[in-house]
Structure 1
């Protein structure tokens, strides 16, 4: 599996940095965001290092589909019943802060409104 030793999310996958995990399998890891924008805010990341959506290829289609299906399952399990939002920031102009593909899933009242 491809990893980047300088990537904070790769370090979380490797267990070098703790996280509040909500799901893990051979391909995906989901954990609570450390700076949530909503009452429920989880990140779903592939364990393989993919820097951003710019680097996604046809070979990643099933992995991205699994991320989306998992997001619905996690929101149900975490008690989100009135909708949620998916966000994938891509690149500097897209406000991506960590260069490792990650899906934000935010649920609860007005999850897009911080402050």
Structure 2
């Protein structure tokens, strides 16, 4: 096996293991009023903050899936545990999350493109029931995503 093939094989095994653990976490997760994101917002759990205003909070993912992987969350959840729970009253915060993703992408130098991901529910691999946007970039994305 060539060294390049060995590296690729090792990478695929790592990615498969990470995807399996994400899937397991999503299947085990349950909606609750207080999540790990609330602890991050309240600075009870340290994070690398990249953006914060009175509506949203953004930090670097601790298990990045791309060179740039930032999680963007609303400070006030207001019952918005996932996208499928959105109501008309959430329109402004949903727009704010996406606009903030655009601002952070520019701040991070992702001028050549990026991906936005919102996982919803167990089959969507959602593991924290506090709506959040993943901003991924810094490498070529593949399609279909998975």
Task: Report if TM-score (shorter chain) is over 0.5.
Answer: yes
Q: Which has the larger radius of gyration?
A: 2
1:45 to 2:73 alignment: yes
Residue matched to 2:21 = none
Residue matched to 1:34 = 62
**CA distance, structure 1, for counterparts of residue 142 and residue 53 of structure 2:** 28
Q: Give runs of ≥4 in structure 1 deviating > 3 Å.
A: none
Deviation at 1:112, TM superposition (A): 5.1
Question: Given the alignment, which residue of 73, 76, 83 partners 2:113?
Answer: 83
**CA distance, structure 1, for counterparts of residue 109 and residue 95 of structure 2:** 22
Question: Given the alignment, which residue of 108, 130, 133 partners 1:103?
Answer: 133
More strand by share: 1
Asked if 2 retains the 8 angstrom alpha-carbon contact of 1:4 and 1:10, the reply is: no
SS in 2 for 1:67: helix
Question: Given the alignment, which residue of 86, 103, 107 partners 1:73?
Answer: 103
Structure 1 pair 93/39, CA: closer, same or farther in 2 (3 Å)? Answer: same
RMSD: 1.6
**CA distance, structure 1, for counterparts of residue 103 and residue 53 of structure 2:** 14
Question: Given the alignment, which residue of 71, 83, 88 partners 1:58?
Answer: 88
More helix by share: 2
Residue matched to 2:27 = none
Could you report, residue by residue, the CA deviation over 1:43-63 in whole angstroms, capped at 9, with x for unpaired residues? 100112221112211111011
Deviation at 1:4, TM superposition (A): 3.0
SS in 2 for 1:93: helix
